[in-house]
Amino acid sequence: MIEEVAVALDVGGTGMKCALVGADGVVRHAERHPTDAGRGPAAVVETILSVAEGLAGKAYADGLTPTALGIVVPGVVDEARGVAVWSANVGFRDVPLRDLAAARLGLPTALGHDVRAGGLAEARLGAGRDTGHVLFVAIGTGIAAAHVVAGRAVTGAHGAAGELGHILVRPDGPVCGCGRPGCLEAVASASAVARRYAELTGTDTGTATTRRTGSASDDGSAAGPGRGRTMVTAAEVAARADAGEEVAAQVWRETVEALADGLATAQALFDVATIVLGGGLAQAGAGLFDPLRAALRDRLTFHREPRLVPAVLGDEAGCLGAALLALDQMETP
Amino acid sequence: MIEEVAVALDVGGTGMKCALVGADGVVRHAERHPTDAGRGPAAVVETILSVAEGLAGKAYADGLTPTALGIVVPGVVDEARGVAVWSANVGFRDVPLRDLAAARLGLPTALGHDVRAGGLAEARLGAGRDTGHVLFVAIGTGIAAAHVVAGRAVTGAHGAAGELGHILVRPDGPVCGCGRPGCLEAVASASAVARRYAELTGTDTGTATTRRTGSASDDGSAAGPGRGRTMVTAAEVAARADAGEEVAAQVWRETVEALADGLATAQALFDVATIVLGGGLAQAGAGLFDPLRAALRDRLTFHREPRLVPAVLGDEAGCLGAALLALDQMETP
């Protein structure tokens, strides 16, 4: 019997994570390619399609049958129409990627959102397994989330649901890349942590912006693009806080408080059983999870407290989620 | 042919709205009863059951066939288990109301949450009709919301989803009845408006609390229970603001800003097509909707702007939603 696999691509601003994935969720083959987003959207689309073709060919060569294609991208994705509506870091604007790919490969194709796909994978194959209501939160350069109910990620009316990075937590706080003051992302993302530490230690480079929206999972501990000087990363701030450095401890405390405010708001609205934290900042481990659990507990009054657990699929979550989207559509008549 | 109807009850802290509703959503008969919550939960349950029995008898007497029962209550409701988990204003704590009613009437019974049921009715029969993603927000003594996707209200893992009243909007704001500072309900509910106006005009009675959680739709313009002196209601504050009174205008402006912050957070997370505002405060009409639309638009950057419309079903929404829950379960095998 010939085994069927999904062709899965997770397209980020810098690289693409690609795989052939069986119906059991097991990766049969994986490869990575640069995105080179600077070449413009048309070239990126061409690369996506040829990489997908190559993967399908690889499947046949290995005696596997590619039956479906799943592609996930950052930004605003209209999954129902299969359109990459807007993505700053890949340069997409209203790209009908699903139909382009389906026409090129002749396979049923699903287009999804990278963080929602990552959340789907964590909810079904990872840290949220066996719980029906999961919130996956990716904390990296930005902050984004996916609400997964009964094994399906909630997309919203226009493909823009889950923008946890852009909820108000500090009305008097710094201006976010989206233009509004006090967004969670402007206060508690990895880049916000690095920037705040630089401010307080007098090493600020003065280019305080966060990205507008989109993927948050792939470059968690970086201090953000376009900086002239290397800033202390969020991971290093966490380490220094753990070692007792006063300024680092203050920045970390403020970060934890803001994250707890954001998660408490999400819990009031979503009432999930499990919150899965991924992205670079979550790699701080107990240094993040212990104080964050306590701060979240402080904020929950009548609400039930969700489990707060680290993601387990790492940077493969988006690609696995793309495979799940591809496989799911085969089940839907 | 004998017409089939659902028996529907919307149980609030002060009264019960009850009806016989056809499969077309049309009310065939309506009646109201006092809840008399002060008698304790056992007596309230007995009243609910006997009222439901009476309605079923009325149906038969009118040549109708009652095929299902729907009951909605405020607070935290576990719809999957059919349990009224917690409700301050009805006095329920872990009452297995669904099974009690099913046993008494011999009808398939659904138990739901009043605001979620109201949202369901507005989404399917009212102001959100023909839009797939709806957020219903009831602004009265408290603030609560229901997120309806594809004609189903999202309940959450423990029946506590949609607590929009308890998201953080003003970290330095007044303490909410739930115990946390700066909740939306503590700043922008009808009772908060009345209280803030009393504070600024020196007529405060000093008992500044809001309810802990629960139904927000039935006593919108009241100043809250347990007050020794009559406060100026939110509706009157709105009227005075409209007439140009300075303090009233300030309170109203602050209320609109806080509501816009709350709705922007909800839109970032839910990405709905339509937001339906109900409850007493929404009766301020253009005096609320015009500035609120503008303030919400200011806050939306990359998000799509939802339609912001007033509820149309009034205080019958919860009862109609109870009927929809009853009828829906007949379709699910």
Q: Quote the crossing angle between the two packed helices B246-270 and B234-242, to the nearest 10°.
A: 110
Token duo for residue A262:
């954001």
Averaged pLDDT of chain B: 91
- The distance of B132 to chain A (nearest Cα, Å) reads 7
Residue B305 shares a structural domain with residue B321:
no
Residue A88 shares a structural domain with residue A144: no
Q: Give the residue carrying structure tokens 């402080």.
A: A298
Nearest CB to A76; choose among B161, B169, B302: B302
Cβ contact, residue pair A271, B86, below 8 Å: no
Assigned domain for A187 exists? yes
A229 within some domain: yes
Minimum mean pLDDT among B185-199, B220-234, B297-311: which range?
Answer: B220-234
Q: Residue A306: helix, strand or coil by DSSP?
A: coil
Cα–Cα separations (whole angstroms), residue B209 to B175, B189, B200, B247, B295:
8, 11, 16, 21, 27
Mutate to test the interface with B, among A130, A271, A305 (most CBs of B within 10 A): A271
Q: Which of A115-129, B74-88, B162-176, B282-296 has the lowest mean pLDDT?
A: B74-88
User: Could you report the average pLDDT of every consecutive run of 10 residues in chain A (333 residues)?
Assistant: 91 95 95 94 97 98 97 93 89 96 97 97 94 94 95 93 96 93 96 96 60 42 48 94 96 98 97 96 94 97 90 96 94 60
Nearest CB to A163 within list B145, B299, B303: B303
- DSSP of B80-96: TTTEEEEETTTTEEEE-
Query: DSSP strand E in chain A: where?
Result: 3-11, 15-22, 27-34, 64-73, 76-78, 83-87, 92-95, 109-113, 133-139, 143-149, 152-153, 274-278, 307-310
Contacts of B164 in chain A (CB under 8 A): 268-269
Q: Which of B159, B265, B304 sits opposite A167 (nearest CB)?
A: B265
pLDDT at B68 over 50: yes
Chain A residues close to B133, C-beta within 8 Å: 156-157
- A299/A218 same-domain check: yes
Judgement on whether residues A161 and A100 belong to the same structural domain of the protein: no
Contacts A–B by Cβ distance under 8 A: 132
Distance from CA of A178 to the nearest CA of B (A): 6
Domain housing A112: 3-120+315-331
For the segment B145-152, the average pLDDT, to the nearest whole number, is: 95
Question: Residue B331 burial by CB count (10 A; 0-12/13-18/19+): exposed, middle or buried?
Answer: exposed
Q: Cβ distance B126 to B139 under 8 Å?
A: no
* pLDDT average, residue stretch B236-246: 96
If asked whether residues A261 and A134 sit together in one domain, one would say yes
Nearest to A133 among B157, B169, B271 (CB): B157
CA A213, CA A88: separation in Å to the nearest integer?
8
- Residue B53 belongs to domain with CATH number: 3.30.420.40
What total number of domains does chain A contain?
2
The tally of CA atoms less than 13 A away on the side-chain side of residue A110 is 25
Give A117 to chain B, closest Cα distance, Å.
16
Residues A88 and A196 both lie in one domain? no
Chain B residues with CB under 8 Å of A268 CB are 163-164, 166-167
> What tokens does B10 get?
């919307």
Select the residue of B160, B170, B272 nearest A271 (Cβ to Cβ): B160
pLDDT for the residue B1: 62
Model confidence at B88, pLDDT cuts 50, 70, 90, reads confident
3 state DSSP class of A302? coil
d(CA B45, CA B96): 10
- Is A176 domain-assigned? yes
Indicate whether A39 and A177 sit together in one domain. no
A111 domain residue, yes or no: yes
**B105 and B155 together in one domain:** no
Q: Write down the pLDDT at residue B229.
A: 59
**B247 closest CA partner among B201, B179, B298, B303:** B201
pLDDT band with cut points at 50, 70 and 90 for residue B2: confident
Task: With CB atoms and an 8 Å threshold, state whether B269 touches A167.
Answer: yes
Residue B332 pLDDT class (50, 70, 90 cuts): low
Q: How far apart are CA B331 and CA A236, in angstroms?
A: 56
The beta-carbon neighbor of B271 closest among A161, A170, A302 is A161
Instruction: Give, in order, the Cα–Cα distances in Å from A271 to each of A32, A56, A294.
Output: 36, 40, 18
Say how far residue B314 (Cα) sits from the centre of its chain.
10
Are both B301 and B163 inside the same structural domain? yes
**For the segment B207-232, what is each residue's pLDDT rounded down to a tens digit?**
444 444 444 444 434 444 444 557 89
Q: What pLDDT was estimated at residue A227? A: 45
Chain A neighbors of B147, CB-CB under 8 A: 269
The answer on A243 and A136 residing in a single domain is yes
Q: Rounded to a whole number, what is the largest CA-CA distance in chain B?
A: 65
ipTM for this model: 0.90
Co-location of A325 and A296 in the same domain: no
CA-nearest residue to A178 within chain B is B301
Cβ contact, residue pair B166, A303, below 8 Å: yes
In this structure, the answer to whether residues A320 and A303 fall within a common structural domain is: no
Question: pLDDT at residue B325 above 50?
Answer: yes
Task: Answer yes or no: is A82 within a domain.
Answer: yes
User: Chain A contacts of B163, Cβ < 8 Å?
Assistant: 268-269, 271, 302-303
Task: Return the percentage of chain B with pLDDT > 70, whole number.
Answer: 91
